[in-house]
Structures are given as structure tokens and as C-alpha cells.
A and B are shown apart, each in its own frame.
Chain A
Amino acid sequence: MFGFDNITAGNGWGMAVVGASIVFLGLAVLTFVISQVHKILNLWEQKDGFFNRYKKQAQIKKPKTVKAPVTIQRHLPSVKELASIYRPLVEQLKQPFDLFQLFEISNKMDLAHPHLSIKYLQEAGVLVPQGDGRFTWDKQKAN
């Protein structure tokens, strides 16, 4: 048998269409998959960073983190020591003074942690608020 009859008898049309479709589909799927492999690998490699970031965020939300300044304060000198450091600076200022002025001078003197130190002195009552935004130096508490 020859010609189109033989193609039909041998199921040629079906084999050609189905075969061509399968090979195209197979390679198209493989194309898609391998085009995504490097993206998946990138995500996989960044997973540690992602989880670490998540952990940090979670830690910030925890109440324990509120105690963090306390931990930092441990590295600061005691109130007496701080007062002895800051007394000469306060003596340069007119009473009462702005905390900003004290901060500026401490910055010029290159003292460590001026913000925390001033805050610490304020909490200890060495720096007394006058109600108008200015502060005075309590000599008794400083001693």
C-alpha cells in the first residue's frame, strides 16, 4: 500500500501529531523548570538571612528587649563616677541650663555615651527638671 492510504492505515497522522505534541510539551516543561532552578537556588541560599532577619524582628517585639538599656548601663560608670565627670561641665553653664547645652559640651569633650549618661544622671535625680525644660545640678545627690 502506498500514499495517504498507507499513512492512514499505519495511524501515521495520529503518531505524528501526538509524537510532536509530546516532545514539544516535554521540552517546554523542562525549559520552564530549568529556567526556575536558579531562582529556587537563590531563595534556598538566602533562607538563613531571611530567618535571621525574622528572628531579630521577633526579638525586638519581645518585652525582654525593654531591658536592653539596663544591660548597656552596666557598661557605664556609676552615678557618682558620672557625676564627677559631668560636674566640671555643668560648672561651665549658667544654672538652670538646657540639656542640649550639656550634651554639646560633652560631645566636644568626646565623652563616651553622652546621651545615655545624661539620661542616667536625670533618672538618678542628679539633673533636676525645673518645669520649663531646663535643669539644675543637685550637688547632694551628686555626692
Chain B
Amino acid sequence: MFDLFYQFLSNTGYFLADYRHVIMIFVGCIFLYLGTAKKYEPLLLVPIGFGILVGNVPFFKGFGIGIYEPNSVLHYLYFGVTTGVYPSIVFLGLGAMTDFSSLLAQPKLMLLGAAAQMGIYFTLLGALFFGFLPKEAASIAIIGGADGPTSIFLTAKLAPHLIGPIAIAAYSYMALIPVIQPPIMRLLTTRKERRIKMPPGREASRKELIIFPVVAVLLCCFLAPTALPLLGMLFLGNFLKECGVVNRLANTAQSAIIDTATIFLGFTVGCSTQADVFLTPKSLGIFFLGAVAFSVATASGVIFGKIMNLFLKEKINPLLGAAGVSAVPGSAREVHLTALKEDPTNFLLMHGMACNSSGVIGSAICAGILWSFFI
């Protein structure tokens, strides 16, 4: 009887746990705290945080329980991540929720979205410099796009063993936008530049809004066909929304479908951070490089905004460059708040959303380009 009790005890999480599990459970609790108490990206941090808790309950390997064990339930759920299915579905919903009218009103702001992608390529060089393999470096670099689904999609294709740390880094930095971006924005701009007011753009017609996803998907995907799973779904979702004849589909895409995909994506990514897989020196390196990627992306957007002002008659507020990363709508909101601090009558939210939308397109194109380099 004692043997049976000891055998049971030896299979419990209490017996199998070591310091790494405790660390990861602590990280999971931080995610839950940030998501619920601080309301930093709660739709992402709550499922991820809970997934970290579930994924780090110690268990006896071989029972078919863990996410990395074939035929386990979690493994099947994780299939949507490793194949890139969840990110594509998230993009469908994202497209159905995105309003490109502000971008159509001021197309030049799209260039800021392109400039902010420079963080990706800078980090690619940085990751290679620190000894990562090219495919790993490309997966780490995409964190600079500040787009969780895109990061997961590319990593699933190039370096599946790094999905956990890269996804956690990407979502962490997206949640930490209010901490990371404002100091960089203030550092790179003068007070006078931050106070530049921009007139509201013209109103985009319905026909323009309908034509845009068709034109954009053709132009972008002919350029980078490997971005099709992301951009194809993004613009399909947007077309469903704008065409006005399939409101049921658009409503489902922007509610039930994206919500379901987000739950499974966040939860399984959280589960994938098993302590023995996650707590490695590589993960620390990824977190460091992720911070670099995000900061360089923000800085390059702002600097490009200043460069554009050298040539434009009607000046743009260079803070908008920070919204060129695709963290929708967090970075646009942060740009707006930073401008408001300087001038309470300066409203940049809609302009910021234009840059944000172009950032989403830009980072998906970058993912396609990086993937195509290794095909």
C-alpha cells in the first residue's frame, strides 16, 4: 500500500516540479496579472498566461499529455500553430475588423509602415551576429514587425522549435508598447515636431474601400506569393466587410472565428512554453533581440517620418512613424497619447491607424520575403 501511495506521489506535479517550472508558472501569473489588472492586450495575454500555467504543470512523460507528445489533445490543438492555420484565421478576422479608410485617405503614410519594417532586417543581422542559424535569425527578426500571428506563422515554417519563446517575446513586447515606445519617440523628436498638426484626410468612397483589398492582394501577393496565407486571408476578411453583401460572413469572421482562433492560438502557444524547452540561453537571447527589434522598428519609423518632412510641403508628425509597427491599435494609441501630452488639441489616432494598417501589410510581406529566402 505504501508502494502504491509512493508510486502515485512520484507521478504528481508536486514531486516532479523543479525550479524551472516555478519560474514559468511565475511568468504565467505575470501575464495573467498584466492582462487582467493592467489590461495590457488582455485578449492575448490571458489565454497565453493561462496556457503557460497549464503547459508547466509537471507530468510523467509518456502519458500522452504534453503538447509535444504525439496524439495528445494539446498536440492536436497545437497543430493549428505548427501548420500556420491559426495565424491565417486570425488574419481573416483582423481583415474583417480593419478599416482602411484612413490609409486610403492618406496613402503616403503607408511608407511609414514600410520604414518601420527596417527593425526586422536590422535584427536579422543582429541574430546572425550572435550566432543564430539563418532560419532562426529570420524567425527572431520578424518580432520587429510587432505582429504576433505573423511571428508565429513564420517561425512555424522556419524554426518550429522556437515558436514558444518567439511568440511570448512578440506578444510581451506588444503588451509593453506603452513602456517601450514613448521614450524612443520623445528621444528622436523635438517638441516642435511632436506638436505638428495634421488635417483630417478626405473621406474614402465605398468603391475605393471595395477596390482596395482586391488591388492590394494582387499587388502584394504577386510580389511575395509566400505571404498568401496571411495577406490572402487579411484582404478576404476586409473584402467581406466592405462589399456589404455578406454581412453575416463578415460579422462571423470579426467575432466568432477570430475569437476561437485567438483562444486556441494563445492557449497552445502558452502551453508550448514548457520549462525544459523554454528556459534555455537561446530564449534569453531571443528576448533580448526581440526588444532590439521592436525598438529599432519604432526608431526607424520615426526617423523616416523626419526624412519625409524634408521633402513634403505639408509636414507629417514624425511620431506617426512609431505606429508603422503592426501592433494594432496599441502603437497608434500610444502615438496619439504622446501627441496629446504636447498639445491637447492634436489628434493623431486616425493617422496612426493608417500607419498601423500599413504595418500589418508590411510585416506580412516581410514574413513572406524571409520565408521565400529559405525555400
Contact = CB atoms under 8 A, between A and B. Distances in A.
Contact of A20 (B104, B117, B137, B215): B117
Contacts of A32: 107
Interface residues of B, number: 45
Given A12-B125, A38-B204, A41-B207, A23 B131 contact: no
A4 B207 CA distance: 50
Interface string A27-42: 1111111110110010
A15 interface: yes
Contacts of B205: 38, 41
B366 A19 contact: yes
Interface in B108-125: 108, 110-111, 113-115, 117-118, 120-122, 124-125
Interface residues of A, number: 33
Contacts of B111: 24, 27-28, 31
Contacts of A28: 111, 114
B185 interface: no
Interface string B84-118: 00000000000000000001100110110111011
Contacts of B169: none
B87 to A, nearest CB: 19
Nearest to A22: B369
Contacts of B120: 19
B98 to A, nearest CB: 14
A4 B114 contact: no
Contact of A7 (B128, B133, B224): B128
A27 B124 contact: no
Interface string B218-254: 0110011000000000000000000000000000000
Secondary structure of the A contact surface, majority rule: helix
A12 B325 CA distance: 22
B224 A6 contact: no
A34 B212 contact: yes
Nearest to B114: A27
Interface centre among A1, A16, A29, A41 (most CB of B within 10 A): A16
Contacts, number: 115
B128 A27 contact: no
Given A10-B133, A27-B362, A38-B204, A15 B370 contact: yes
B2 interface: no
B208 A38 contact: yes
Nearest to B211: A37
A37 B361 contact: no
Given A26-B224, A30-B220, 15 more contacts: A2-B130, A7-B129, A12-B124, A15-B124, A16-B122, A17-B121, A19-B120, A24-B111, A26-B219, A28-B114, A34-B104, A34-B208, A35-B107, A37-B211, A38-B205
26 contacts: A2-B129, A4-B129, A7-B129, A10-B133, A10-B137, A13-B125, A15-B124, A16-B121, A16-B124, A18-B369, A19-B366, A20-B118, A20-B121, A22-B223, A23-B117, A24-B114, A25-B223, A26-B219, A28-B114, A30-B110, A30-B215, A34-B104, A34-B216, A38-B205, A38-B208, A41-B211
